[in-house]
Amino acid sequence: MLRPSTQRYSVTRPLYSEDTFEDEHAKVYRKHKRLLDHFIQYFTCTSERAKNAAVSLLPIIGWMKIYSIKDWLLNDIVSGVSTGLVAVLQGLAFSLLASISTWYGLYAAFFPVIMYFFLGTSRHISVGSFPILSLMVGAVVTRLVPDEGPPANITAFEGLTKDEQRILVSASLTFLVGLFQLGMGLLQVGFIVMYLSDTLISGFTTAAAVHILVSQLKFVLGLTVPGFSGPLSIIYTLESVFTQITSTNIHDLVTSIVVMVMVLGVKEINDRFKSKLPVPIPIEVIMTVIACGVSYAFNFSENHGVDVVGKIPNTFESPIAPSLQLFQMTAVEAFPIAIVGFAVAFAVAKVYSVKHDYIIDGNQELIAFGASNIFGGAFKSLAASTALSRSAVQESTGGKTQIAGLLSAIIVLVVILGIGFLLEPLPKSLLGAVVIVNLKGMLMQVVTVPYLWKKDRPDCIVWVGTCLAAIFLGLDLGLAVGLGLELLTVVFRTQKFALASFSVFLNLLQIYEPEGVKIFRIPSPIFFANIDFFRDKLKDAVGFNPLRILRKRNKAVKKIKKMIKKGELTLTSNGLQATCSMPIEKSEEESNMEDLDKPTDYSDLPIQVNWDTELPANIRVPPVNIHSLILDFSVVSFLDISALKGLKAALKEFIRVSVDVYIVGCDPYIIEKLRNCKFFDDEIKTSIFFLTIHDAMLFIHESHPPKTVSEKVNVTVWSLYKLDLFIQRLICINLML
């Protein structure tokens, strides 16, 4: 690699004032649409727009057209059955968090799934109950219908039992959550999740996990603990638990310990040997079957006082109308539930959409979950989102589309209508143990605190503040406190602008880009709210998705190696040649998507693959039309942890498809932070940083010499005379909020 410190340049140009520069160079004005123009465009209807609107509103139309029965149906069946069994168990378990009868958790694994099947854009998430949402619903239920004392003065409660009152509260709240989500989706405000940073979500979910853990102690220990809500409710719950600790039911405790040890052990085996196991071992289902058998055989409920699930109706209950009075009394809690439910589901959906290379629409997801919760609330379902563990089961067992989700709903239907009675002797202590085991991932997030304290203290303050506020003040107030802290840190970082100690390059209005080079200017700080927008616009600017190119290259290399091994490709003087005509393969099994995201392995290839030429055996890989990318950081005043992770991932994607990335005009404070946060490695080196665009361009010129005389003349003139006269095609993406 060349050493830029050995290069010299000199620029000679006239002295310009703003007036003389504008006289000599015409300014390009961007045409801004009027409000009337937007209004007319929005309500103009054409056949193409009508078709796009239909596909957008019903995403099932899009993926059903490409559905391969031969390649996907069996995978969806296996995934649907596996996910359905887990959904049954989690539905029963998570309903305990909502302080309602267990079978209503099964409704959350059926009704919302049906609606999401038609309206959702994610093909891999498993829709249903989610522990944090169930806990937030439970806080509202116990506030309006407490375990001890009279319920709230609500007209709709007249003539209802306590259980029926709680179901009415849960169903009305779920319905209202759906209305909020549907309204936000129709108003196209899906971007709202950008304001929930990874740090805030991590602190919030850790606090929620603590609440869930404490709420399940009464089932694990077999105690009767009243429900508490509001600030310091967790303290009151712990006080009640420890006051009764001597009354612990030893059978419940032993059952819980055995289940937790077995489930944790087998989950560790599943994680360690996931590449060798065809499907994860369904240990929760196995333990449920065993516990049901033991409880029934020894009559735990009668002989040992163990609290069991009890009777499960073998039919669906009639739908109910929500209470408008309850809407008024729960609106404050319903809105954060709607936001949290959507944010978690969208985050999980986004992970799988990137992994499997398809697009999800945040606004359509809001509409899908809104409609799902409205439909589910009418049938007494819990508020629906997605559980991380359940979605992982659906994806890891080979699920390709939401047909797997539909089949999981059919499994739940069979349990409700046919074999639900087999679960009646199931101890609630087992359900509590299952819930606690599934909290492991959320509770382990606490180990990030020391890292954040050392690398990014404002983010650490957001994490700790959000977590402590959510633990002691409640999840709804904790989320509000977290958002306030997050906005304060953004203001603090913005005000604390550190000027660079050097300034050898004048930002001009236009930038000349030689062939094969793309210059991308970022005119604002990069942080949690705009990092995804930054990455999307960067891909738009270069004209390709580097991750998609990398995956196609890795698939092509694997295929070439396989064909060479079989003798279907031979090495000739002109390169690799196919020995026979090869059919075009539609797709390759995505058995290990992680391998496709790694740097291309060219070992064992007898020749270097030239991706700019035609490949043998009908192998198609989209071309990459640039060799260098310059990121102008001259006005980037700070990066937070979320942006740092996103930037690192973006740079690696380009580097792995042989695009050299250079960062210019970067603040020394940011470079020092990147060093402290272990940003640099074998792929991303400190040598990618240059003082100015001009330095980077001269270095690129040395690394990639122009091929034609005209290019040489252009670069020479650009380097030595009237730099700004040749500067054109500015890529200036406004990342300001």
Show the tokens assigned to 579.
């020995």
- Residue 715 contacts residue 514 (beta carbons within 8 Å): yes
Q: Is the pLDDT of residue 499 over 90?
A: no
User: Which of 86-95, 188-197, 509-518 has the lowest average pLDDT?
Assistant: 509-518
CA distance 106 to 114: 13
Q: How many residues does the chain have?
A: 737
User: Which of 514-523, 559-568, 692-701 has the lowest average pLDDT?
Assistant: 559-568
pLDDT confidence of residue 377: 94
Per-residue pLDDT band for 327 (boundaries 50, 70, 90) equals: very high
CB neighbour list of residue 286: distance below 8 Å, 6 or more residues apart: none
CA distance 262 to 256: 10
Domain contains 186: yes
* Domain encompassing residue 282: 70-148+159-223+231-447
Domain contains 460: no
CA distance 160 to 164: 6
Domain contains 95: yes
* Torsion angles phi and psi, residue 231, rounded to 5: -60, 145
pLDDT confidence of residue 502: 31
pTM, two decimals, is 0.78
Domain contains 372: yes
* Torsion angles phi and psi, residue 521, rounded to 5: -100, 130
CA-atom Rg of the chain in angstroms: 30
Domain contains 177: yes
CA distance 250 to 252: 5
Q: Residue 52 burial (CB < 10 Å; 0-12/13-18/19+)?
A: exposed
pLDDT confidence of residue 38: 72
Q: Which amino acid is located at 275 in the chain?
A: S
Per-residue pLDDT band for 469 (boundaries 50, 70, 90) equals: very high
Q: Is the pLDDT of residue 292 over 70?
A: yes
Show the tokens assigned to 394.
């659906």
Number of domains in the chain: 1
Higher pLDDT: 565 or 648? It is: 648
Per-residue pLDDT band for 501 (boundaries 50, 70, 90) equals: very low
pLDDT confidence of residue 619: 80
Using the structure block, give the residue that is written with the tokens 């978690």. 344
Q: Is the pLDDT of residue 140 over 60?
A: yes
CA distance 237 to 232: 9
Q: How many CB atoms lie within 10 A of CB 651?
A: 20
Per-residue pLDDT band for 110 (boundaries 50, 70, 90) equals: very high
- Residue 126 contacts residue 391 (beta carbons within 8 Å): yes
Q: Is the pLDDT of residue 351 over 70?
A: yes
Tell me the average pLDDT across 506-512. 42
Q: Is the pLDDT of residue 707 over 90?
A: no
User: Which of 273-277, 322-326, 372-376, 468-472 has the lowest average pLDDT?
Assistant: 273-277
3-state secondary structure 273-316: CCCCCCCCCCHHHHHHHHHHHHHHHHCHHHHCCCCECCCCCCCC
pLDDT confidence of residue 257: 94
- Residue 121 contacts residue 368 (beta carbons within 8 Å): yes
3-state secondary structure 560-593: HHHHHHHCCEEEECCEEEECCCCCCCCCCCCCCH
CA distance 348 to 346: 5
Domain contains 271: yes
Show the tokens assigned to 215.
């709420």
Per-residue pLDDT band for 724 (boundaries 50, 70, 90) equals: very low
What distance lies between CA 542 and its chain's CA centroid? 24
pLDDT > 70 fraction of the chain, expressed in percent and rounded: 85
pLDDT confidence of residue 694: 82
Q: Is the pLDDT of residue 520 over 60?
A: yes
- Residue 252 contacts residue 307 (beta carbons within 8 Å): yes
Q: Which amino acid is located at 270 in the chain?
A: N
Q: Which amino acid is located at 434 in the chain?
A: V
Mean pLDDT of the chain, nearest integer: 82
Show the tokens assigned to 476.
């709804």
Tell me the average pLDDT across 271-284. 81
Q: Is the pLDDT of residue 31 over 80?
A: no
CA distance 575 to 4: 36
Domain contains 639: no
CA distance 475 to 61: 38
Counting other chains too, the contacts that 496-504 makes at CB distance below 8 Å and 24 or more residues apart are: 496/637, 496/638, 497/637, 498/637, 498/667, 498/668, 498/669, 499/667, 500/634, 500/665, 500/666, 500/667, 500/668, 501/668, 502/691, 504/691, 504/692
Per-residue pLDDT band for 322 (boundaries 50, 70, 90) equals: very high
Give per-residue pLDDT as tens, 433-458: 988 988 888 899 999 999 899 888 88
Per-residue pLDDT band for 708 (boundaries 50, 70, 90) equals: low
Q: What is the dihedral of CA 210, 214, 219, 220, to 10 degrees?
A: 80
Domain contains 563: no
Q: Is the pLDDT of residue 591 over 50?
A: no
Tell me the average pLDDT across 233-246. 91
Using the structure block, give the residue that is written with the tokens 């180990």. 447
User: Which of 88-102, 272-286, 632-646 has the lowest average pLDDT?
Assistant: 272-286
CA distance 249 to 219: 10
Q: Which amino acid is located at 584 in the chain?
A: I
Give per-residue pLDDT as tens, 628-673: 999 999 888 888 888 899 999 999 999 999 999 999 988 888 888 8
pLDDT confidence of residue 148: 82
